[in-house]
């Protein structure tokens, strides 16, 4: 792990900054099905092992999810709502908070769309080597998805 003093300062603790590769995934297909993601897209997504890149520039956080097929890039500030287009195509009002070792994003679409509200919790181990992302849909605990990511070595 990098020297803590060489990491950027700002709203996120240093152990949350870095690149994380997906290792395991539970109930991702069920989660996507509940969101209305079509079979072809689900089949592709279930076979990808994305890298999540978390960085910050002063108080702006960047969250990039990279796959060989599609990448997303979201920039936001903690505790300030913004409009986000999610990977599954929902337009939501999103707010992110930092609660201990959890970076939380709550995504709420306009009620008229009929889309579900979702929550992404990125929980980091004390040593920063593991990030457990829990994906939940309001009122649908049976499709809670858990995806575990491991830190990739820093580029030197």
* 125: its two tokens: 């181990």
- What gap in Å lies between CA 119 and CA 4, rounded to an integer? 29
pLDDT of residue 89: 84
Please say if the pLDDT value at position 1 is more than 80.
Answer: no
Residue 21 lies in a domain: yes
Residue 66 lies in a domain: yes
Please say if the pLDDT value at position 148 is more than 60.
Answer: yes
Alpha helical stretches, state H, the chain: 28-35, 39-45
Average pLDDT over residues 6-10: 42
Residue 39 lies in a domain: yes
Q: Is-contact 16 52, C-beta < 8 A?
A: no
Strand partners, 113: none
φ and ψ at 35, to 5 degrees? -80, -5
Residue 87 lies in a domain: yes
What is the C-alpha radius of gyration for the chain, rounded to an integer number of angstroms? 15
Residue 120 lies in a domain: yes
Average pLDDT over residues 60-75: 92
Q: What angle do CA 96, 128, 13 make, to 5 degrees?
A: 45
Residue 81 lies in a domain: yes
Residue 156 lies in a domain: no
Please say if the pLDDT value at position 119 is more than 50.
Answer: yes
Please say if the pLDDT value at position 32 is more than 70.
Answer: yes
Q: Model-level pTM greater than 0.85?
A: yes
Count of domains for the chain: 1
Residue 8 lies in a domain: yes
CATH of the domain at 30: 2.40.128.20
Residue span of the structural domain in which 120 resides = 4-151
């Amino acid at each position: 792990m990098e020297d803590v003093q060489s990491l950027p300062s700002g709203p996120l603790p240093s152990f949350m900054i870095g690149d994380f590769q997906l290792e395991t995934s539970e109930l991702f297909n069920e989660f996507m099905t509940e969101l209305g993601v079509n079979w072809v897209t689900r089949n592709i997504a279930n076979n990808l092992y994305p890298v999540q890149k978390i960085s910050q520039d002063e108080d702006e956080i960047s969250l990039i999810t990279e796959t060989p097929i599609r990448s997303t890039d979201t920039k936001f500030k903690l505790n300030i709502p913004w409009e986000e287009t999610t990977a599954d195509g929902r337009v939501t009002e999103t707010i992110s908070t930092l609660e201990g070792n959890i970076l939380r994003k709550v995504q709420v679409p306009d009620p008229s769309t009929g889309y579900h509200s979702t929550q992404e919790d990125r929980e980091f181990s004390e040593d920063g080597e593991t990030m457990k992302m829990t994906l939940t849909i309001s009122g649908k605990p049976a499709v809670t998805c858990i995806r575990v990511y491991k830190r990739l070595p820093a580029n030197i």
